[in-house]
Chains A and B, each alone.
Chain A
Amino acid sequence: MFQFYQKESFFDEMFVGEDESVFPHYQGLRERLGRLDDAEISEKQRRVDTSFLEQGVTFTVYGDDRGTERIFPFDLIPRIIPDTEWRTIEQGLTQRIIALNLFLHDIYHDERIIKEGIVPEEVVKSAAHYRPEMRGVDVPKDIYIHICGTDLIRDAEGRYLVLEDNGRCPSGVSYLLENREAMKRAFPRLYRDYGVRPVDHYPELLLKTLRHLSPRPGQAPVCVLLTPGVYNSAYFEHTFLARKMGIEIVEGRDLIVLDGFVYMRTTRGLVQVDVIYRRLDDDFLDPVVFRDDSMLGVPGIMDAYLKGNVALANAVGTGVADDKVTYAYVPEMIRFYLDQDPILENVPTYLAWRDEDRQYMLENFPKLVVKAANESGGYGMLMGPTSTAAEREDFAAKIRQTPRNFIAQPVVSLSRHPTICGDNRIEGRHVDLRPFILYGEDIEIIPGGLTRVALRKGSLVVNSSQGGGSKDTWVLYH
């Protein structure tokens, strides 16, 4: 199967060197795949795809009027992470989410990090998702980011680096869980023999995280998941999680605020809601406080929130922490708040609002990836090495106009992983890893994460909206 595999100059997750030797934790996988012929692979792939489509494990493609639903392409070769490696990742992520939460509490209260000159005030206050409404507000248990999806990549030496933190509405965990189900069905014995740590308790952990926030301790809290609605790209995930947690999935129109309390409208009248896992942007949450044209929000919900009568996860205003400019300061935050060195490093980042950085960016486009500070999903990006002159000029103009909005990073040649491509040939494709971190009574990270893979040859963009797929991620017991 692997006889034509080209490792090239990248860090490969499976192959050690130019010969065919693999890392020890990939040995069993290679033997198993080696026994498969083309027809068997095609058959397994077809079965997995059909099952995803029929179960509606799909996302909606934007800019397509027919609201076409597609399955998120799934690759049958799992990514495997040995225990020791995972433990480092786990410690690094734990350290990071603690620092990010301390940062959020700080900037909405004492602003120590600003006063001591670690992070410039301008960076914080000019972030698109900074919410002045949250100043001086105490959120339940002082936790802001309860659910975080942090994207990790590996560089040419195989070091794990943090690419970005998603601290508003991270998505993808449903694919992680469904991928696992699919793998268990496709390779039951291989899975059993490998000693893979399970992930299927995620919904229980999430529910526990939510219940921890209830403003009415002692009573069974009423938790709901607030979705933008069926036309949202992640709607499948919203229903998936609500179902697995056994809580109601509500839209804005199902909720109503009376005298500072939030209620849901049921066939038996109004029922008070304690905790809302909201998958709606801050902007749309409350037309009274934020965008007044929002049809998805709940008028008055911010009032109830500020009075402490309802908890929101994630808190309002967390977007300032996953701003791509703020990102550059996270290692400093870790040193400042925790007096520790970061366990997971950042990718080196140039900030266009610093004069010398901007100059460097403008002169070195072909070496850089330029990103808009507040976009996600792979939108608003310039891939320097493959960009056209026109694209570069366009970005240069935008950067000069609003430097605060842009950052740049050297092109990191993400690690590659053997992936089944056309005609069942196995080729190396670039991958990243998005673990999901839950911050409630404890900090819990389910072993693994969503491994996203850039299916197009040579591509470094793994987002589902840009031709990405995914793999199951196996964290081993040993």
Chain B
Amino acid sequence: MIKKVLIANRGEIAARIIRTCKQMNITTVAVYSEADQKADFTKMADECYLIGPPRVNESYLNAEKIISIAKQAKVDAIHPGYGFLSESDQFAGKCEEAGITFIGPKASVMKQMGSKVLARQLMEKAGVPTIPGTKEALATAEEALNAAQDIGYPIMLKASAGGGGIGMQVVENDEELVRAFESNAKRAKTFFGNGDMFLEKKLKNARHIEVQILADHNGNVIHLFERDCSIQRRNQKVVEEAPSTFISEETRRRMTEAAINAAKALEYTNAGTIEFLVDNKENFYFLEMNTRVQVEHPVSEEITGIDIVEKQIKIAAGESLDISQKDIYTNGHAIEVRIYAEDPVTFMPSPGHVSQITFPNEDYARNEPAITGPSDITHFYDPMIAKLIIHGTDRQDAIAKLTKALQTYRVVGIKTNLPMLQYISEDEIFRKGNVTTAYVQEHYIPNINAK
């Protein structure tokens, strides 16, 4: 039984996990840094403990300290949320050693998926198509140049241990590749402790479509359909929706089947997401697997009525899935937008003091905020300050409601991307669903600069 959970995270996801724990009568423990002493999530939790100074290495990435607090608070389990320690197989292993349940998959599977090179190899073995590229990790620019000859430009250079858009860059020729290889390998080494790189063919006019899966410890694996997350800036998502209106029913069947086969081949457990790139002919290719709850999980919850965090906790407690695939239907259409503290044109961070925040309060608007009143947004953490999720009867209805909701959304004191979200919600290209991962670069930025 899981009766007490420590949430090793902050902001909106900590608040969101605490909410589900309360519904399940689970006692919650929040941990926070000195920068988050007044944060909303600390007020929501039953107990809270200071980890340390604001810097992530001394707070939310301090595995030893978090585990010692977990022992002191006598929790049964730790929910890592997303980011921070959520994909650290070492942290999952340390939880296990301390006799605390890690709410996520086994450390060994996390380690496999944490290496993107190894993940590609395992997916190929499981019969899941991968993007044409290198099979092995590249240690030098010379190796990369040789491999690039076979793949052909443009190429996406990536760090095997990368994440959050760090350590990846599109390169158009040999010269760019050499330059990008050295700087990105160095950054990957600094950020992730591993400088291994690999190459993938850069797919043109591709969409980012991912499949949410849930797997229990008895070999049952189900999917909660797909999410389309093609609108991205700096390789990070801004708008996500479910279901995808681009893929056919046949493609949906093949993609979800591939995701389930992959999860079974890995003997995966808990919630996970298999990300794919889908070209304009609906060919899909494995991109990466996220072994945690995703930022955009609410859109799947909205269309299926399933609480993904609740399922994560139940699976971690050893329970079998209480729902089978044939019982899962999609209802309507959901769209999530991320509200970032950043300039809406340059995407430069905009930390500072929020003096006022006003949320849309219509029934169809689900708010997942990190802050609910005047707050300092510090430079220490990710710029996302809230998410807005809209549920509609269909895509058109959801977009109409999103447009309306965004008109009443106010954040005073700092710059946010709300003007960008308003632009997108009213944009014809978005409304028609003709959105690929190049949308921000090819449509949004040129149009905004022309205004």
Are chains A and B native binding partners rather than an unrelated pairing? no
Q: Which residues of A contact B (CB under 8 A)?
A: none
Q: Which residues of B contact A (CB under 8 A)?
A: none
